[in-house]
C-alpha cells in the first residue's frame, strides 16, 4: 500500500529522516514509534507533502507522493491528522466535519457523514454544538472524523493519545481497530505511547534520530524487552 524507500528529509543542517525504508500493508495498522525528535512527525509531513524530501521515494499504491502537491493528496486517498487537534471552535461539530468533505456536493457528503456519526455517537449527539465546548477526547474524535469525510484509503495520525485519559485513548484506539477491520482502512499511527499503540497495531516501525531501528510485527516488538527499554519507554 505505502512504500517508503531511502526517504531523507532535512531542515537545513538537521537530517530529520535518514534513508528510511519500510512499507505499510493495506488494511493494517502500522505504529511509528520512537523518542522525541526521532523523526515521526517529519515522516508524516513528508508523506503528505508539507515538507519535501531531499532524497528517496514514497509511493501510495504506485502513486508518487513526493511529486504530488499537498492539495492533491486527498484525491490519492491520503488523509493526515496532525498533532494538536485543530478544529474551528466557532463552528459546529457538523460544520467542522463537512470541512473534511469540502469539494464534494452535500449529497455525496451524506454517506461519510452518517458513517462518522455511527462510529462516534458522541459527535452525533453534539452535532449542533460549537466545537469550542468539546473535551480533548471529543476533539480528537472530531479531527479523525473530519479526515474520514474524505473517505481516505490511508490515514496518517500524529500522537492522537497525547494528553488524553487512558479510558479515552482506549476508546479511540478500539475505534481505529474496528475501522481497519470493517472498512479496510490502512493506518500509520505515530505514538509516544508505544505500549498502547503496539496493543492495537499489526506492525511497528521504530525510529531513532531519523533512522530505522527495527520494523516487525507489533507483538514481536512488544515482547522485546531490550528494545522496549532502549527505545519505547516501557
* By CB under 6 A, residue 13 contacts ligand ATP: no
Segment interacting with ligand ATP (CB under 6 A) among 35-43, 52-60, 94-102, 104-112: 35-43
CA within 13 Å, CB half, 171? 14
Pick between residue 94 and residue 158 the one whose CB is nearest to ligand ATP. 158
Separation between Cα atoms, residue 89 and residue 139, nearest integer Å: 10
Site map (CB under 5 A) of Mg ion, residues 21-60, x = contact: -------------------xx-------------------
Binding partner of 38, given ligand ATP, Mg ion, none, CB within 5-8 angstroms per partner class? ligand ATP
Query: 141: closest CA among 87, 99, 190?
Result: 87
Segment interacting with ligand ATP (CB under 6 A) among 38-46, 73-81, 164-172, 198-206: 38-46
Region of 223 on the Ramachandran plot (φ > 0 left; ψ -120 to 50 alpha; else beta): alpha
Binding partner of 128, given Mg ion, ligand ATP, none, CB within 5-8 angstroms per partner class? none
Binding partner of 39, given ligand ATP, Mg ion, none, CB within 5-8 angstroms per partner class? ligand ATP
**Buried b / exposed e across 35-70, counting CB within 10 Å, b at 16+?**
beebbbbbbbbbbbbebebeebebebeeeebeebee
> Which residues in this chain contact ligand ATP in the complex, by CB under 6 A?
11, 14, 16, 34, 36-42, 192
Amino acid at each position: 500500500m505505502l512504500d517508503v524507500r531511502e526517504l531523507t528529509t532535512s531542515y537545513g543542517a538537521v537530517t530529520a529522516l535518514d534513508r528510511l525504508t519500510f512499507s505499510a500493508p493495506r488494511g493494517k495498522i502500522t505504529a511509528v514509534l520512537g523518542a522525541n525528535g526521532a523523526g515521526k512527525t517529519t515522516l508524516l509531513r513528508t508523506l503528505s507533502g508539507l515538507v519535501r524530501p531531499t532524497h528517496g521515494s514514497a509511493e501510495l499504491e504506485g502513486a508518487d507522493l513526493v511529486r504530488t502537491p499537498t492539495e492533491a493528496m486527498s484525491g490519492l486517498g491520503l488523509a493526515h491528522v496532525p498533532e494538536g487537534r485543530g478544529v474551528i471552535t466557532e463552528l459546529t461539530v457538523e460544520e467542522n466535519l463537512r470541512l473534511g468533505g469540502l469539494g464534494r456536493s452535500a449529497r455525496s457528503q451524506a454517506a461519510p457523514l452518517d458513517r462518522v456519526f455511527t462510529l462516534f455517537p458522541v459527535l452525533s449527539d453534539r452535532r449542533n454544538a460549537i466545537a469550542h465546548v468539546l473535551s480533548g477526547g471529543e476533539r480528537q474524535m472530531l479531527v479523525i472524523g473530519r479526515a474520514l469525510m474524505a473517505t481516505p484509503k490511508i490515514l496518517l495520525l500524529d500522537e492522537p493519545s497525547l494528553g488524553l485519559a487512558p479510558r479515552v485513548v482506549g476508546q479511540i484506539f478500539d475505534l481505529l481497530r474496528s475501522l481497519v477491520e470493517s472498512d479496510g482502512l490502512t493506518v500509520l499511527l505515530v505514538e509516544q505511547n508505544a505500549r498502547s499503540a503496539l496493543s492495537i497495531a499489526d506492525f511497528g516501525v521504530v525510529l531513532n534520530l531519523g533512522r530505522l531501528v527495527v520494523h516487525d510485527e507489533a507483538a514481536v516488538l512488544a515482547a522485546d524487552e531490550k528494545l522496549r527499554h532502549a527505545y519505547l519507554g516501557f
